[in-house]
């Protein structure tokens, strides 16, 4: 029997939240199965009033019984967990390093650590397309956990993509095999800005928040969870170029030819990013990283005008919104890939981030001299160095720690790990970092 009673529907949502919390700590496999059901069918059970009387240990059997009942369709974006009750954190090295506090070992994580170099990731990708994984919280959670199960890393990062923001703003984004991300209808000129919409982040990107909450529970407090976004200039580049580019020429032309319209577009993207990052913290993210993957296409002048300006807004507005919601602020990491030392120095003084990530071209000693003692640095081994012998990888990792110093330092690669990186080298990299 179908019901349109809003009270029953709310009971259904409350029951689902209860179910997740009850099953999470000891029955993760069953949790994933249930999550697949909820998100792939995008339905939530209508629960009879007796549900409210059910004891926690009976929830799993009740769910099985309910599966045979009829359901009302409800958008999966409406499903939220507002009372998280996350397990206590066991490893806070990365949080301590971000705050400048002493650590027993240098924390380490790897950009794109949940990715194609892992056989378990490749196996799952044979069954699901890329953005279906991003938009299905159970799958995003499963992939996020893969490197944590395999390696002694000090942080996890939610599996998603920076291009979910252009998607939410109304652009089509496809992930094409052998090509990468493609936006088949990019912004050809400023008149196309009118095609964009300002999304309701909780609705249009709510699946990311749901994945974060589910992952926080599934981690069981083992390590912190990082949320992330692309920076405005990087996203603008994709939206104009229609994909990756070796020059970003069309996007850079906009900066000179259409400066006012460029700022308008960057501001629109920035406003979405602020709400998106706040939503991620509300969902359970314990750190935030902003990726400026296209920073190397900007000289110091353009960097200050079209990148730094919006980085500052993001930092200031995210912190202000969290304060207004009485939510504790989380450390914020900026990764301005390709930024010059001059730009990095300016960034450290003005942007308001706790951590600055460095790519592999930046000398750690010079960077430390430029940014001073009150900013944590992250990075920066060349991802291609992982193709050396495991012994040399370990030695490079140890030497990197010595160059950066153990204080205010988070170890990482200088960019994302490559798709065919050798797993033994990843193990050697982590061992080398932790050995110093």
* 13 is a catalytic site residue: no
**From 13, 30, 116, 150, the catalytic residue:** 116
Look at residues 362, 317, 319 and name the one whose alpha carbon lies nearest to residue 344: 362
Residue among 112, 368, 394, 408 flagged as catalytic? 112
Cβ atoms of 141 and 215 within 8 Å: the answer is yes
Q: Is 238 a catalytic residue?
A: yes
Q: Which residue in 207, 238, 306, 310 is the catalytic one? A: 238
Active site residue 55: no
The CA distance from 178 to 158, in Å, is 24
Give 324's contacts (C-beta < 8 A, 6+ positions apart): none
Catalytic residue flag (residue 323): no
Burial class (CB in 10 A: 0-12, 13-18, 19+), 416: middle
Instruction: Give 18-82 as a DSSP string.
Output: HHHHHHHTT-HHHHHHHHHHHHHHTEEE---GGGGG--GGGHHHHHHHHTTS-EEE--GGG---S
The residue from 13, 96, 125, 150 that is catalytic is 125
- Centre a 10 Å sphere on the Cβ of residue 69 and count the other Cβ atoms it contains: 12
Beta pairing partners, 156? 225
Take residue 427 and report the two structure tokens written for it. Answer: 């193990």
Backbone angles phi, psi at 171, to 5 degrees: -90, 145
310 catalytic residue (yes or no): no
Catalytic residue from among 92, 161, 204, 354: 161
Residues annotated catalytic, as ranges: 112, 116, 125, 161, 238
């Amino acid at each position: 029997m179908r019901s349109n009673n809003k009270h029953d529907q709310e009971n259904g949502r409350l029951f689902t939240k209860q179910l997740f919390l009850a099953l999470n700590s000891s029955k993760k496999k069953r949790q994933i199965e249930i999550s697949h059901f909820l998100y792939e069918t995008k339905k939530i059970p209508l629960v009879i009033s007796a549900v409210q009387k059910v004891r926690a240990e009976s929830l799993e059997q009740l769910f099985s019984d309910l599966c045979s009942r009829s359901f009302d369709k409800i958008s999966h974006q409406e499903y939220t967990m507002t009372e998280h009750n996350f397990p206590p954190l066991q490893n806070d090295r990365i949080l301590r390093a971000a705050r400048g506090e002493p650590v027993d070992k240098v924390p380490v994580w790897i950009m794109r650590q949940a990715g194609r170099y892992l056989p378990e990731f490749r196996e799952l990708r044979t069954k699901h397309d890329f953005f279906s994984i991003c938009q299905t919280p159970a799958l995003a959670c499963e992939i996020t956990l893969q490197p944590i199960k395999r390696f002694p890393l000090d942080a996890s990062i939610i599996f998603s993509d920076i291009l979910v923001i252009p998607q939410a703003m109304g652009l089509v984004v496809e992930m094409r095999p052998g090509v990468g991300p493609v936006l088949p209808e990019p912004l050809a000129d400023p008149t196309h800005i009118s095609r964009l919409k300002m999304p309701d982040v909780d609705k249009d990107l709510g699946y990311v928040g749901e994945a974060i909450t589910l992952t926080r529970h599934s981690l069981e407090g083992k390590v912190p969870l990082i949320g992330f976004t692309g920076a405005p200039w990087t996203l603008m580049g994709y939206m104009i170029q229609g994909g990756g580019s070796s020059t970003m020429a069309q996007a850079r032309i906009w900066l000179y030819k259409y400066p006012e319209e460029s700022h308008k577009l960057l501001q629109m993207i920035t406003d979405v990013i602020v709400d998106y990052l706040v939503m991620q913290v509300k969902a359970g993210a314990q750190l935030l990283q902003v990726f400026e993957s296209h920073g190397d296409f900007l000289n110091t002048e353009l960097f200050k005008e079209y990148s730094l300006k919006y980085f500052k807004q993001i930092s200031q507005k995210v912190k202000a919104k969290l304060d207004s919601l009485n939510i504790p602020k989380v450390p914020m990491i900026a990764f301005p890939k390709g930024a010059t030392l001059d730009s990095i120095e300016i960034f450290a003084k003005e942007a308001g981030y706790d951590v600055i990530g460095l790519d592999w071209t930046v000398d750690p000693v010079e960077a430390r001299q430029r940014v001073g003692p009150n900013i944590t640095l992250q990075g920066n081994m060349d991802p291609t160095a992982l193709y050396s012998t495991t012994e040399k990888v370990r030695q490079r990792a140890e030497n990197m720690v010595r160059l950066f110093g153990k204080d205010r330092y988070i170890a990482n690669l200088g960019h994302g790990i490559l798709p065919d990186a050798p797993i033994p080298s990843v193990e050697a990299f982590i061992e080398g970092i932790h050995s110093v």
